[in-house]
Structure 1
């Protein structure tokens, strides 16, 4: 399957589950001489993130066309998200890894949660961490290329879809847990994604 078709399939999947309606992606009107590379560089993005956000695999741009510029995320923010993805979604399908990273971004964009990736990941309410790998230290075990790729894809598609804010594995949660009261949007691997 070529890259463009894979990106289209993933975009459709996440159109069903993942991204908050109010996230701050912006548009840009292409100027004569612009390239995906120069636009990515000027916006502190990777070339891949910019191409994914615009469902393009080539480098051709036309002056006057409008493209989407996804929000930039710092290297430190990406690495922290990749560590969380590794700890939370190890052994899950790639789409599940992207969805876990998306939950973090959705929380950053939501008024119900802290405003930074670090604060979302390390959030503690009533003495309980939002993510168990923070409590048990698994977040410190690193990440691999697939985890970072998933983070970059979540960033590239930021701002589209329906906005999952939670995920859980129903086999690892007590049956009386409050998470079961949340609206489930989809299931990917062993995880349920909810808002």
Structure 2
């Protein structure tokens, strides 16, 4: 009763299933508060700190109300963390550790922003945003320092959601970016919102 499926068809389906797993995984998360929940319970459920949930939602205390929509930090899969680490390595090679954390933070801020795709994969592969995606250097392995910078940026989501752009003015000129407000300068990179 079963039709024979060509082996090549199965192989193609498997390749597609594994080629794009990051496209649907780490997305901008929200949680609708239910009766009886607390920030502590919500944070524990998602494996993040209560302070981070408060920071993500600009809360000075732990008061929440049923029906309230809370923003939650991006929680990437292992492959997404690797992708972000490789982007940081390629974009900020030769920059300070703080510069690497800031580059990772820009990507995470974009996932949270309504101006960009709501997944790590989507932000990183969004058109011509990042030159390492275009020139293939994103495929090189990340250093231990870049991986640590990504971990730090993930741990501090919500504490500095301002920068959405960065560039090296010695290597690129942009009238679009020149109209943006500078948030900080770290090494050769200018960060903007």
Identify the TM-score tier after normalising by the shorter chain: 0.5 to 0.7
Take 1:80 and 1:148, find their aligned partners in 2: how far apart are those partners?
10
SS at 1:167 equivalent: strand
Q: 2:181 aligns with which of 168, 180, 183?
A: 183
TM-score, length-scaled by structure 2: 0.65
Cα distance change of structure 1 residues 143 and 159 upon mapping to structure 2, 3 Å threshold:
same
Q: Give RMSD over aligned pairs.
A: 3.0
* Residue number among 90, 95, 103 corresponding to 1:92 in the alignment: 95
Partner residue, 1:10 = none
* Structure 2 residue matching 1:146: 3-state secondary structure: helix
User: Quick one: higher RCO (CA 8 Å, sep 6+), 1 or 2?
Assistant: 1
SS at match of 1:29: helix
1:170 paired residue number: 169
Residues 99 and 186 in structure 2, CA contact (< 8 A), matched pair in contact too: yes
Q: Distance in 1 between matches of 2:39 and 2:77?
A: 21
Look up the match of 2:40: 29
Q: TM-score, normalised by structure 1?
A: 0.64
Specify whether residues 89 and 148 from structure 1 end up closer, same or farther in structure 2 by C-alpha distance, changes over 3 A only: same
Aligned to 2:22: none
| Number of corresponding residues | 144
Aligned equivalents of 2:82, 2:133: Cα separation in 1: 14
Would the aligned equivalents of 1:52 and 1:153 in 2 still touch at CA under 8 Å? no
Structure 2 residue aligned with 1:194 = 192
**Rounded Cα–Cα distance in structure 2 between residues aligned with 1:147 and 1:138:** 14
1:107 aligned residue (106, 110, 116): 110
Give the Cα–Cα distance (whole angstroms) in 2 for the partners of residues 108 and 98 of structure 1. 16
1:116 aligns with 2:119: yes
**1:12-48 deviation line (CA, Å, top 9, x unaligned):** xxxxxxxxxx986997438xxxxxxxx5xx6456xxx
Cα separation, partners in 2 of 1:152 and 1:52, compared to 1, 3 Å: farther
- Which runs of 5 or more structure 1 residues have no equivalent in the other structure? 1-21, 31-38, 55-65
Do the aligned partners of residues 98 and 24 (structure 1) sit closer, same or farther apart at CA in structure 2, a change above 3 Å counting? farther
1:77 CA displacement:
1.3
